Amino acid sequence: MSGKIVGTGSCMPEKIVSNDDLAKIVETNDAWIRERTGVARRHISEKETVVSMACAAAQKALEDAHMKAEELDLILMGTSSSGTIFPSASCMVQKEIGAVHAACVDVSAACTGFLAVYQMGQAYIRSGMADKILLIGADTLSHLVDWTDRGTCILFGDGAGAAILVSGGSETACEVMHSDGGRGQALTCDSRHRDGSKELSGDPATYIRMDGKAVFQFALSKVPEVILETLEKAGCTTEDIDYYVLHQANIRIIDGVVRRLRERPEKFPSNIEEYGNTCAASVPILLDELNRAGKLKKGQKLVLSGFGAGLSWGTALLEWQKEN
Ligand code: UT7
């Protein structure tokens, strides 16, 4: 028995930073950022934290699922920027929302974080170890970005997305995950020298460092490959898929995946223009937007796909079973 998603939620910080705002602090411009990335603006946290946004997204997902926090037996949270080594961010969320019966685990898989927790949630349900799971992807990469590096600071934004996964899903659910630590140096952020405050130490290694071209090429080759691998494993073809909910890293990566799969662009919803790359939050935020807009119909097949630091990449095929 697989799990099915019965509720979604999301939360973004209040403050919006436009490309023109960024052009005041680094040598860049709106036209370059839009054309090379698809990003027009991003939400950047001031008072919000990974945990506060995760709690807000979780509450909305619980409401959408008509469930109480006490019913949850597991919280799995993908985050790489919660600001504490321990206690885990998921334990802090548990406390805030009152999910007193839930076990809590954080997962560090960067932009693949939501796919990782979704897949783990499915494995818990299939093994019988859990029944009602809160899945969260939440990040504030703005705290880890070098705001003098125009190659990275233009890309990222902050946010949180959540989904409730419960047993009773369709047997077409199918997942694949891969990692290649050998290529990990393409995207790094070292926490060892941080002093626990929000301020970074000044050591360049403690900021996000990225070989943008290497990550771009990796995504363009591996994302279509893992999608096709998942479809084959599930006995499906691209014809069966209604929507591809991809990690929002760069609109040119999404366009490239459309071309390589010989698919129709309208099957690839995107919100990168509004939020930039929100790391583990991007897939559940987009899923929540589709759900709330009433675009997801019972019986439709969705592909979720995440990719990023590690390097890591993963995909899930699911049948939407929620009535809207
Ligand atoms: O979640 C997964 C994590 N990350 C990703 O998926 C990111 C993947 N990579 C990318 O999205 C792209 O590689 C970037 C958006 C980061 C960079 O785009 P690019 O097309 O690979 O640009 P580039 O680094 O090759 O730079 C092209 C030119 C260079 O100038 P010259 O050498 O041609 O004169 C750069 O110096 O654009 C310049 N440039 C910029 N110009 C204005 C680089 N960044 C900027 C900027 N504004 N922000």
308 ligand 1 Cβ < 6 A? yes
The atom number, within ligand 1, closest to the CA of 152 reads 16
Residue with tokens 């685990």: 105
Active site residues: 111, 247, 277
Number of residues that make up the chain: 324
Q: How far apart are alpha carbons 237 and 94 in whole angstroms?
A: 39
- pLDDT confidence of residue 115: 98
Task: State the average pLDDT over residues 47-62.
Answer: 97
pLDDT tier at 201, thresholds 50, 70, 90: low
Q: Tell the residue nearest (CA) to atom 21 of ligand 1.
A: 213
Q: Which residues pair with 275 in a beta bridge?
A: none
Residue with tokens 């436009």: 18
- Asked whether the beta carbons of 41 and 101 are under 8 A apart, the reply is no
Q: Tell the residue nearest (CA) to atom 39 of ligand 1.
A: 151
Q: How far apart are alpha carbons 292 and 60 in whole angstroms?
A: 11
| Residues whose CB is less than 8 angstroms from the CB of residue 147 and which lie 6 or more positions away in sequence, other chains included | 25, 26, 153
pLDDT tier at 192, thresholds 50, 70, 90: low
Q: What is the mean pLDDT of the chain?
A: 95
Q: What is the CA radius of gyration of the chain?
A: 18
Task: State the average pLDDT over residues 7-13.
Answer: 98
Q: Which residues pair with 135 in a beta bridge?
A: 76, 163
Tell me the residue type at 271. N
Of residues 148 and 307, more confidence is placed in: 307
Tokens of 143: 């705290």
- Centroid of ligand 1 to alpha carbon of 154 (angstroms): 9
- Centroid of ligand 1 to alpha carbon of 150 (angstroms): 8
Q: How far apart are alpha carbons 239 and 260 in whole angstroms?
A: 14
212-234 helix and 251-260 helix, angle to the nearest 10 degrees: 40
Instruction: Give the residue, out of 19, 156, 250, 277, with the most ligand 1 atoms within 8 A of its beta carbon, to mutate for a pocket test.
Output: 250
- Asked whether the beta carbons of 112 and 219 are under 8 A apart, the reply is no
pTM above 0.85, yes or no: yes
- Centroid of ligand 1 to alpha carbon of 111 (angstroms): 18
- Centroid of ligand 1 to alpha carbon of 37 (angstroms): 8
Instruction: Give the residue, out of 26, 36, 154, 286, with the most ligand 1 atoms within 8 A of its beta carbon, to mutate for a pocket test.
Output: 36
Percent composition of the chain: helix, strand, coil (DSSP 3-state, to 5): 40, 25, 35
pLDDT in tens, 113-145: 999 999 999 999 999 999 999 999 999 999 999
pLDDT in tens, 153-184: 999 999 999 999 999 988 789 999 999 999 99
